[in-house]
Amino acid sequence: MRRGFYTKLAWDSIRKNKRLYIPYLLTCIGMVMMFYIILSLSLSPLLNDMAGGRTAGIVLDLGSKVIGIFALIFLFYTNSFLIRRRKKEFGLYNILGMGKKNISRIVIWEAVIVAFISLAAGLFAGIALYKLAELGFLYVMHTEVTYAFSVSFRAVTTTLVVFAVIFLLILLHTLWQLRSANAITLLRSENAGEKPPKGNWLFGFLGLGILIFAYYTAVTIEHPLSALGTFFFAVALVIVATYLLFISGSVLLCRILQKRKSYYYKPNHFVSVSSMAYRMKRNGAGLASICILVTMVLVMISATASLNFGAEDGLRKRFPRDINIGASFASAGDMKEENLEYLRQRIVEVLDDYDAIPVNLADYRTAALTAVLSDGVVRSTGDLQYDSGLADELWQVYFIPLEDYNITAEKKLSIPEGKCAIYLTRGDYAYDTITVPNGPTIQVAEEMEACELVHDATSSIMQTMYIILPNYVECAKAFEDAGTTLWTDWEYSFDLDVPAEQKVDIGVEVRDALLAEVGETEFSFSVSLESREAQRQGFFQLYGCLFYLGIMLSLVFICAAVLIIYYKQISEGYEDQQRFEIMQKVGMTKREIRKSINSQMLTVFFLPLITAAIHLCFAFPLINKLLLLFNLDNVLLFVGTCAVSLLVFGVFYVLVYRITSNAYFKIVSGQNMQ
Amino acid sequence: MSVLQVDCLKKVYTTRFGGNKVEALKNVSFSVETGEYVAIMGESGSGKTTLLNILAALDKPTAGTVLLEGKDISKVKEADLAMFRRNNLGFVFQDFNLLDTFSIEDNIYLPLVLAGKGHHEMAERLKPIALQLGISDILKKYPYEVSGGQKQRTAVARALITNPKVILADEPTGALDSKATDELLRLFREINANGQTILMVTHSVKAASHAKRVLFIADGEVFHQIYRGENTSEQMYQKISDTLTMLATGGDGK
């Protein structure tokens, strides 16, 4: 009987607060569902049958962890909002003679009910929608595998355990909150904090300063490799700055505006500015969270979409020709024509078996080193360890024979002895000559605008100089005589006019034929062969998988943002109800009030979206650099995906605004807005 | 000259589905002269609040007219009503109705800002009023920081600052302790002595005893009225009490 009493009270209070609880429950269900889906995908047996399935598994597993951590933080946040709203109710119970113990029992029962509904409905929805999610996954993975309806037992138990722990932590937090409050504070807590918000100069300007610094860092980043580290640093800074600015900066701005009397005491500014300060004080943290979530969604979607849709680009950039062979020789001396011809013959033998003719041939030698270019002297860094701090001064320097260049580029460039043509991937060359230590000094005859040999992804990551010259042998010898290690490579790549499957087979056979020679010849070399067609699927799958995870995480974040927005509107509705009435009595027309409230709501509502768009703009150069690491060098595509995701999200945001502001007006008009 | 003229006012409320009709005001007529201080008394449900709402143009009468300086307020267009109220009437409410988002000063300025007045003019107008009401020291504070009496004086200042033709006070002492009540009533007399017309609705005998004239409303009609004349507040208090007793015991005063 007694137990029944508490369960009934708990159940009743959830029902009575359904305006607050239904969205909370939906979010819990959504989190459980997403967690289950991503986790079972990562554990799915179908990954084993896929090329690149293991990578996908790792990426998805990471995704499920992100969702789990996010669920913990976010459900905590929403729950604390629920408690704040309900403290009055608990205070009333307390005054009516219920001890803290009794109230705790109600709270525990509520938590049990919420956890039960969330887990049951979430798992049910997860299992029901899993097939759909799987189909979507296979679609972006460019794979067609059909599997029967399946439930992953391991995913179910993991989900149950993870979320049981999350709900338990939330419950403990709630109980702790109740314990540390007495009846009066419980009763009053809704009305507490009516103090006027004070602009905090320190935090406001700190926020602005940090933001400007973060933006500056993001915009001035030069080097893709250092971009990765900088990215996380900048993200952390931007998050901190956003919170500071929304919480303190906005109130500070209102206060500054209030000080300007000629501005403040105008009918259309007076009410807005002063109530905005209050709104921002109460909602600053919520708005900042919305802003961060929106930014994350935009960045994630536009970057992963760029990768996904630019996968073909990336593939072609990473593997410029169908078959890409690179042979490394021990020295420039070993890399002589007759040895190369010997290897060519081995390749052609295989091609002849398939009646395949190589076209679009690249056939050139390079001698390369990592160097510092000061005063036009190419100084090897020797065995210097790579240090990202040095990244901006280090150059990849390639010496390429003129005749090889002419064959590969199909050009008739003529450069006299002692001169050279150069190509730099970044900037201009500051000197007229290039000096090889203990070797010749070469005049720069021409600085090329483009170089046909440049395709390699690393060339867009490391700053690179190509030196095309007739006396290539002399230079290489000078370096080798000085004991400098040169990377002497022979690049032999071509396209084939045969079906894709044959290209894969040819790749395998050519590799086998060449590897059979390693150690058998009188010159020593090592060989690597990359076949574009063989890599195609794995390539697409990695990017597809990232895109898929981007969409799924975005869905989770969007749900979270919508919930915060909804709660914000509701709490503002309750607050504005009374204010609305007073203003009317004092002599504002309903239209004036509505206009003022509308404009405030719009400002507050779209502030996060606009800030997120600005964040995205400043993050753009940084993310673009990061995409280079993924072989994507298509700024237009990235601009496009950014614009599209911003647009789509904007429309969606307006829709959410319309729906949630309905809830707001319903509350306000509860009394006097008929 | 009468500033407010109420003729044969009638208000019938119909319940939502048109079932029951409730007659809140049957037939109310009276007039208020410029510079008068009138209290309207009556028990709960006698129609006081309905009357005040109609006078404040917050509600429309079923029949009858209200003339403010000869102008029929029921003829004022809906769109102009808020402005009309702002320019002609000052309000003091039982629960102060101050906005907690504004400082005391800004609360007082609110009607002037809405009327588009410049900051200097507002500051000039506020100075003497704040001095008279004794709130000069708290102008920069916020409503949550001041006492009930101070809040009500702020509300009075907000009503006065527009130089209204009439101040309508709805149970102004209802939420105050006895000390703050005495202080407020003294201020009302002082303001009235300066020529401000005040119409106060109350069921507090003490509050009414300060007025120059007291109207009694019962069952939707003006039942009786007492003029202060040369009486002291104490004598007034006695007279009002007697009238109320008579009303309560069901005696017919007419």
Whether the predicted pLDDT of B112 surpasses 90: no
**B52 CB within 8 Å of a chain A CB:** no
Please judge whether A195 and B110 are an interchain contact, meaning their C-beta atoms are less than 8 angstroms apart.
no
CB B237 within 8 A of CB B185: no
Between CA A198 and CA A252 the distance in angstroms is 7
Q: Encoding tokens for residue A257?
A: 């505006």
What mean pLDDT is predicted for residues A220-239? 81
CB contact, 8 Å: B16 with chain A? no
CB-based contact A364:A401 (threshold 8 Å): yes
Question: Rounded mean pLDDT of A274-282?
Answer: 78
Per-residue pLDDT of A456-500, as tens digits, reads 545 566 778 888 888 788 888 888 887 787 888 888 888 888 888
Nearest 5 degrees, angle CA A104-CA A105-CA A106?
90
pLDDT at B253: 44
Report d(CA A105, CA A99) in Å as an integer: 10
- Is residue A105 scored above 50 in pLDDT? yes
Residue range A365-407, pLDDT digits in tens:
888 888 887 778 887 776 455 555 556 677 888 888 888 888 8
Chain A residues in contact with B58 by the CB 8 A cut-off are 585
Contacts 24+ apart (CB under 8 A), A520-524: A521/A339, A521/A342, A523/A329, A523/A330, A523/A334, A523/A339, A524/A329, A524/A330, A524/A334
Neighbours of A312 (CB within 10 A): 12
Among the residue ranges A502-506, A533-537, B78-82, the one predicted with the least confidence is B78-82
Nearest to A472 by CA among A488, A491, A453, A456: A488
B81–A589 CB contact, under 8 Å = yes
pLDDT at A673: 39
Q: Does B237 contact chain A (CB < 8 Å)?
A: no
Helices (H), A379-434: 402-409
Q: Is B2 helix (H, G, I), strand (E, B) or coil?
A: strand
Contacts of B95 in chain A (CB under 8 A): none
In this predicted structure, what is the pLDDT of residue A353?
87
Q: What gap in Å lies between CA B83 and CA B77, rounded to an integer?
A: 10
Q: What number of other Cβ atoms are within 10 A of residue A561's Cβ? A: 26
Position A534 pLDDT exceeds 60:
yes
Residue of B nearest to A584 (CA): B82
On whether any CB of chain B is under 8 Å from the CB of A193, the answer is no
What are A159's strand-pairing partners? none
Out of B81, B110, B142, name the one closest to residue A586 (CB).
B110
Residue A165's pLDDT is what? 94
* Interatomic CA distance for residues B67 and A10, integer angstroms: 57
Min Cα separation B47/chain A (Å)? 19
CB A287 within 8 A of CB A309: no
Of residues B58, B114, B142, nearest to A196 (C-beta): B142
* A314 vs A459, higher pLDDT: A314
Interface touch A589/B82, C-beta < 8 Å: yes
CB contact under 8 Å between A585 and B97, yes or no, is yes
> Given this model, what pLDDT does residue B153 score?
92
B10: left (phi over 0), alpha (psi -120 to 50) or beta: beta
Question: Given a cut of 60, is residue A672 above it in pLDDT?
Answer: no
Residue B113 tokens read as: 């800002």
- Across the range A651-661, mean pLDDT stands at 86
Which candidate from A195, A277, A588 shows the least CB-CB separation from B114?
A588
Q: What is the per-residue pLDDT for A103?
A: 84
Is the CB of residue A588 less than 8 Å away from at least one CB of chain B?
yes
The answer to whether residues A530 and A510 touch, using CB atoms and an 8 Å cutoff, is no
Say what the pTM is. Answer: 0.76
What is the least distance, in Å, from the CA of B142 to any CA of chain A?
A: 7
Q: Are A434 and A467 in contact (CB under 8 A)?
A: yes
